[in-house]
Amino acid sequence: SQQGEEDPQALSIQEGENATMNCSYKTSINNLQWYRQNSGRGLVHLILIRSNEREKHSGRLRVTLDTSKKSSSLLITASRAADTASYFCATVLFSGSARQLTFGSGTQLTVLP
């Protein structure tokens, strides 16, 4: 079963605007990660936020985490056409020696020039 659920499923914005994607999850986590997938390609790791962190920045990316609400958001500022891709959140829960990523179904972002 999928742990994370992204919202919205699809988002279309103009270049220069900000894009916000949300992720909700069901169980406790050790960290939450966001990945980007360009059409026909593999996933690329964007940013990781630990369960004891509330906000993290990386370039034009800002991630927030609210463990009480079991939710996270990814903000991409000043979007570019090259940001067009699918974005996935993934949660990690350590269990013994196991360390697995569980993915949501993704948000398809289209940035119009």
Q: Which residues bind other proteins (CB under 8 A)?
A: 1-2, 4, 30-31, 33, 35, 40-46, 48, 50, 88, 90, 92, 97-106
Q: Shortest Cβ distance from residue 79 to other proteins (Å)?
A: 22
In the complex with other proteins, the residue whose CB is nearer, 2 or 12, is 2
Residue 21 burial class via C-beta count within 10 angstroms: exposed 0-12, middle 13-18, buried 19 and up = buried
User: Minimum distance between the CB of residue 83 and other proteins, rounded to whole angstroms?
Assistant: 18
What value does the CA radius of gyration of the chain take, rounded to a whole number of Å? 14
Residue 65 C-beta: closest distance to other proteins, Å: 13
* Beta carbon nearer to other proteins, 13 or 48: 48
Question: Would you list the DSSP string of 23-38?
Answer: EE-SS--SEEEEEEE-
Interatomic CA distance for residues 79 and 52, integer angstroms: 28
